[in-house]
Amino acid sequence: MHVGIVGFFRGDVLKFERVAIEAIGFTLPPEVVTSANIETSLGPVYERLKLPEGRLALMSGIEERRFWKPGTAIGAPSVESARNALEATNLEPNDIGCLIHASVCRDYLEPATACRVHAELGLGNDCWVYDLSNACLGILSGMVQIATMIELGAIRAGIVVGTESGRNLVESTIAALNADESLTRKSIKPSFASLTIGSGSCGILLCDRELSQTGNRLEACVARAECEHHKLCQSDTDQAGASMQPLMQTDSEQLLHAGVGVGVRNFEQLLAEGYERADWDRTVCHQVGSTHRNLMLESLDMPPTQDVSTFRWLGNTGSVALPTALAMGLLSEQIQPGQKAALLGIGSGINSVMMATHWERPSVVGKLDENAKKNLNLESATPSTVN
């Protein structure tokens, strides 16, 4: 083992000495759907309830989101994102000791979607392979598990990856709302959050610092669970596959305030490990929407000018939202070499995972279309793949 367990794990914090965040791979869905498009599809409801046009974007700060082509299997973009992350490094497939697929969405109840990713990447037979589910914290939770295995010397490198698909949830919600003649302005509110959901895919490769070519560090992470709030956001029963037609009910107002409260208390735990607010050059929050972001940063006493956000053009993409925002922040140089970034994760339940990261030579690979370049102010960037 590289470190003593007592020094590595103390109370609510994990402190890492051996873990590098070596590369991030992402895949953006091709279809852009605006909030105006969704409101057009909800025309009968908007007309009957006399809802003003532009309400969805005004309330959420989300102007558009992306969808995969109909029928896209969850594993396909996950393979691409994981491959992007792996190919950005000098590591070989056999170097990967753990592969975790950690999105809410998956292809089947069994086998694990991670099995397809493992097979198509040609990873070794001695690799730990499994799915992990923790709502919007799935990718961060997978990072913690892989980092822990690296720190304790069990593996040298690992990949956590996930793909979220919002099309079926949004389309099912639209159909249900249009068919419900009993809807009122009050009863429609629990369905509002479902209309902000988008799609995306992201993978993160972590490795032992002895293997690292970048020097990017995962320094510490803290977790907090206040699960008395588990009923505030619930989806349908357990389903999987491209044909699922889910619905979700969310008490957005209570979830907002409860989630921010959990986040504030978790952030205080991170600060208690010797960090100061001034230490952070950047923050990356979970990408829910403008109201959540503004209240969270205000409650943490952190400046919004230092925060990286993508929800305006990618929507809420669940477990891949924060990791993708991190990738976009690195690509657009909002997070620069030598800077520290606090990753502020919150997931329904309510759970929170927050991480202290340090960036020396960011390595991010994925294809950017013209819409993405415009939103990142990278219109002059000519390569379709940025590393």
- Which pLDDT score is estimated for 254? 73
Classify domain 1-375 at the CATH superfamily level.
Answer: Thiolase/Chalcone synthase (3.40.47.10)
pLDDT for position 235: 57
pLDDT at 232 over 60: no
CB-side neighbour CA atoms (13 Å) of 318 = 29
Residue 18 scores a pLDDT above 70: yes
Whole-number pLDDT of residue 236: 56
Output the six-digit token pair for 182: 């009993």
SS3 for 348? coil
pLDDT range class, residue 239, cuts 50, 70, 90: low
Tokens of 280: 């952070």
For the residues of 71-127, what is the DSSP string, one character each? T--THHHHHHHHHHHHHTSS--GGG--EEEE--S--S-SSS-HHHHHHHHHT--TT-
Where in the sequence numbering do the catalytic residues fall? Answer: 110, 136
Q: Which residues pair with 65 in a beta bridge?
A: 33
Confidence class for position 362, pLDDT limits 50, 70, 90 = very high
Distance between start and end Cα atoms, the chain = 33
Confidence of residue 383 (pLDDT cuts 50, 70, 90): very low
pLDDT at 253 over 80: no
Does 255 score more than 70 pLDDT?
no
Q: What is the pLDDT of residues 272-318, one digit of tens each?
A: 989 999 999 999 999 998 988 999 999 999 999 999 999 999 999 99
Q: What is the pLDDT of residue 192?
A: 86
Nearest to 296 by CA among 335, 341, 352, 375: 352
pLDDT in tens, 151-165: 999 999 999 999 999
Place of tokens 């046009």: 53
Residue pLDDT, tens place only, 107-123: 998 999 999 999 999 99
Six-digit token pair at 73?
Answer: 């299997």
Residue 259: the pLDDT is 75
> E strands within the chain?
9-10, 13-15, 19-27, 31-34, 64-67, 98-101, 128-131, 157-164, 200-208, 217-225, 233-235, 248-250, 282-285, 307-308, 340-347, 351-358, 364-365
Share of the chain above pLDDT 70, in %: 87
pTM for this prediction: 0.91
Q: What is the pLDDT of residue 9?
A: 54
CA dist., res. 18 & res. 156, Å (int): 10
The answer to whether residues 204 and 21 touch, using CB atoms and an 8 Å cutoff, is yes
